[in-house]
Amino acid sequence: MRIERRFTKDVSCPYAGQEWRNAVSEIRNPDGSIVFHMDNVEVPTNWSQVATDIIAQKYFRKAGVPQALKTVEENDVPSWLWRKEADLDALENMPKDQRYGSESSAKQVFDRLAGTWTYWGWKGGYFESEEDARTFFDEMRFMLSNQMAAPNSPQWFNTGLHWAYGIDGPAQGHHYVDFETGKLVKSKSSYEHPQPHACFIQGVSDDLVNDGGIMDLWTREARLFKYGSGTGSNFSNIRGAGEGLSGGGKSSGLMSFLKIGDRAAGAIKSGGTTRRAAKMVVVDIDHPDIEEFINWKVLEEQKVAALVSGSKLNEIHLNRIIKACYDAKPDLGEKAFEPKENKLLKKEIIAARKVMIPENYVQRVIQFAKQGYTSIEFKTYNTDWDSDAYLTVSGQNSNNSIRVTDDFMKSVNDGAEWNLVNRIDGSVARSISAKDLWRDVGHAAWACADPGIQFHTTINDWHTCPASGDIRASNPCSEYMFLDDTACNLASLNLMTFRSKDGSFKVEDFKHACRLWTMVLEISVLMAQFPSKEIAKLSYEYRTLGLGFANIGGLLMSLGMSYDSDEGRALCGAITALMTGVAYATSAEMASELGAFPGYKKNASHMLRVIRNHRRAAYGQEDGYEQLHTKPVPLDIENLTDPAIGVAAGEAWDQALEIGEEHGFRNAQATVIAPTGTIGLVMDCDTTGIEPDFALVKFKKLAGGGYFKIINRIVPQALTVLGYDDDQIDEIKRYAVGHSTLKGAPGVNHETLKERGFTTKELDLVEEQLKNAFDIKFVFNQWTLGTDFCKETLGLTDEQLNDYNFDLLAAIGFDREEIAAANLYCCGAMTLEGAPHLKEVHYSVFDCANPCGKIGKRSLSWQSHIYMMAAAQPFISGAISKTINMPNSADVDDCMAAYELSWSLALKANALYRDGSKLSQPLNAALLDDADLEEELEEKSVAEKAEVVAERIVERIVEVEREGGTKRKRLPERRKGYTQKAIVGGHKVYLRTGEYDDGSVGEIFIDMHK
């Protein structure tokens, strides 16, 4: 294939036009301990500290990289593309501790990725000439270093270690199909053929111990989890509870086996990291055990609630009973253990019975007290998602989805009965109300955010290979949907890098990038090894790809378009149509050179039908679709503000169909829209996948540690597009992030403070603290101003100053409105609602997934998320990974309506998350001990509640040193301390102290993360 030199035509090498810097990368735990530290990390100068940390910590090869290399000559490969290995002679002359080390430059990573793709592409015959191969190599490195696109994480981990450094290891049970012979081969090396695929779907049969059965699946899943990949399976072949067994007896049912798989997955930390295994469990809506499956996590969440509240009640009441015994013993002797004689003991037993403390335990602790014990250690639990409470219950290690057919949805609408079908003989196990079952689904989603929905009929209407079987499941994130025992390799394009300064979209650049990345993903199929024979075989036969994008939310905002607008949806649809059209056209082009995928022949008519349906949608056609049960949302050409994208999309689909009709396609699928979590960070994306932005003000990490508050970088671009001048934009930005000063502030300012006795000295002290303050009230205290000033000048008492709830500003005469106005001016609103100059008609441009800041009220509706997905779905081979954000006030009917809207708009899958639906979100009740706090919290969202409670924690945390005065006393270099962990609104808060030699507190650190 011919490769155009587009991005690198004017430079001597792909890095020539970039500035580079040596950075420091350091990542710390919330308790302050260092997780990772690396000096002299070479990255492009414009990369953020977060992107630098991601590539250094996660993607650099940390060990075994030879510091001296030599090439390995291959006759059929150009010399510049020869792979490398350790130069043992040169290494022998180096100190032992310097012979092998870590990658230290992003260039090394880009070179090994692009070099390996080019190497295997050359061996596979993908390039017309050596110059085409060299151009491909340069163009790929340019795109990686300029954050234009990124492959999925397994590529960064594994690809190129053998080609670039000669790193090798023993075989791990993988297989691959030799591209020259077409024969299945068992891998002899762990790295020569890398494992670059992230997403897997595996089948499971109704068999206990044989290959392909239930227990075999746990082994296959474990192999994938070990290497950091995710897997999904449809478990509907497994018979329901009570169905007959071949040897007599009755089956224990689907749920008993799902709980075994859940435990197995929970025991394996995916990829050796601290995150749990990534796993999808899919069950058909007509399975006899479907009701139990729907309510599985609902009931398990109730168990968590019971563990948390029950453990705390037991701990309190059982210790009170013991205390009642030993407090009375000096007076009553042995009668202290008899409720008839010990009135306090009787009272505590009655109180324990009222809260259902088990009678057996009451008797036990009385016996315990008789033996001389004065307390009992009763383990208590909390609702943190990774706490022992959640680890104790089942169902927490998978995403659960229900496979719903059109027939079921019609039964719901008709109020009909729905048959649950036995797995073995196909007989009806029982009939239930479809509406009642659907309400159970809505309630479960409302209560615990699971299960999600996959629309089986719509998925298979767009299936390119139905002659090979139905699509029955997906990967864990639900974007890859294809045949069982296949894998998908993902890559995503950063859409903001294709935005011109004038706001137009770089269509030709985007087409070029889509073409080359389609080739990368195809070459990755050729070079890959797979964790089982069946996956290796079917992935070779169908060669599914997962090209996608990130940053559509950022792009729309930067163009002054609301995420919830016809124009925004039209642009998203057009870009998606262009991406997939080019990908399929490239796939057809590769088929003309290298042949169609092996499974194409028996599916040719079906795939061409699907391509024609995609093409109709790209041309905005409302009718004429072939064999679809639900019509898609076609491209809204009328509202497309950049018509060139729509024209290019139509041309791409014309080309895909024309070449495909003659030569077929190299790949059964070409695109998905993935979540793009980690790779979104390494590309410095403002938004991930198809998501909108979540906040307008963010905290930027500093190289030396710490963070500072900045406005989202796309906000000024959006304001410029909307017609605001530089001065107006600066004022709007200041409104959001604050001025970090009280000079010129309303209410509380230098003039009003001087009137109350403040001098230049105190104002300077205050101003220094305001630079990083989140609330001005935290700055006005005796530690900033000095005790003498507070008492002698301001007339405050020790009692006031030592009261954790004391508000100094209010005490010296400022009212609530004045303080709030000054706080807004100094620390910022964290939202643009109410900003100076900003017209209300433009508010929608800056709407995010959640309300922003303390005063923000606006957020995107749940419907807007679904409509955006519907705009993109007709142009995606697979599906879209996305969770629909719903407010806390949403009810069960809203959840059902969201799923029904998704079905009516021809989405393939959806999942909901109602704010506050997980137990790990609610507030710690122990913090709600103030009447004013309860009043303050009453009308707030969960996110706002978390902010209020976090503020109260900070206000109360400082242990007052009454005698120390304000003179600084230096802490010893080596010192003791105490760490306390708390959970606030689903966020972990760590409070760490440093102590003087006498045990008094000298410093307190507060770390908060989610």
Angle between helical axes of 507-527 and 106-123 (0-180°, round to 10) = 70
CA 740 to chain centre: 32
Residue 479 designated active-site: yes
DSSP state of 243: P
The residue annotated as part of the active site, out of 199, 477, 827, 848, is: 477
Residue 685 designated active-site: no
The CA distance from 488 to 154, in Å, is 11
409: Cβ contacts below 8 Å, ≥ 6 apart: 900, 903
The CA distance from 59 to 55, in Å, is 5
CA 333 to chain centre: 61
The CA distance from 316 to 378, in Å, is 9
- Identify the sign of the CA torsion 447, 872, 628, 547: negative
Peptide bond into 451 cis (omega under 30): yes
Compute how many other C-beta atoms are within 10 angstroms of the C-beta atom of residue 892: 17
Q: What is the 3-state secondary structure (H, E, C) of 938-1007?
A: CCCCHHHHHHHHHHHHHHHCCCCCCCCCCCCCCCCCCCCCCEEEEEECCEEEEEEEEECCCCCEEEEEEE
The residue annotated as part of the active site, out of 475, 489, 603, 613, is: 475
The residue annotated as part of the active site, out of 479, 534, 818, 833, is: 479
Burial 374-388 (b: 16+ CB within 10 A, else e): eebebebbbbbbebe
Q: Quickly list DSSP for 96-129.
A: GGGSEE---BHHHHHHHHHHHHHHHHHHTT--SS
Cβ pair 23, 43 in contact under 8 A: yes
Pairing of strands 149-151, 69-71: unpaired
Angle between helical axes of 296-332 and 343-354 (0-180°, round to 10) = 180
The CA distance from 1010 to 1008, in Å, is 7
Pairing of strands 279-284, 230-234: parallel
- Identify the sign of the CA torsion 875, 879, 881, 882: positive
As beta bridge partners, residue 175 has 186, 530
Q: Which helix (H) or strand (E) element contains residue 478?
A: none
Cβ pair 3, 520 in contact under 8 A: no
Biggest distance spanned by C-alpha atoms of the chain: 101
Residue 341 designated active-site: no
Q: Quickly list DSSP for 521-562.
A: HHHHHHH--BSSHHHHHHHHHH--EEEEEE-HHHHHHHTT--
Nearest Cα residue to 791 out of 804, 800, 779, 778: 800
**Amino acid (1-letter code) at residue 233:** S
The CA distance from 167 to 162, in Å, is 5
Residue 435 token pair: 């509406």
Q: Is 38 helix (H, G, I), strand (E, B) or coil?
A: strand
Cα distances from 734 to residues 627, 718, 731, 837, in angstroms, run 55, 16, 5, 12
Nearest Cα residue to 383 out of 310, 450, 474, 333: 310
Catalytic positions, written as ranges:
475, 477, 479
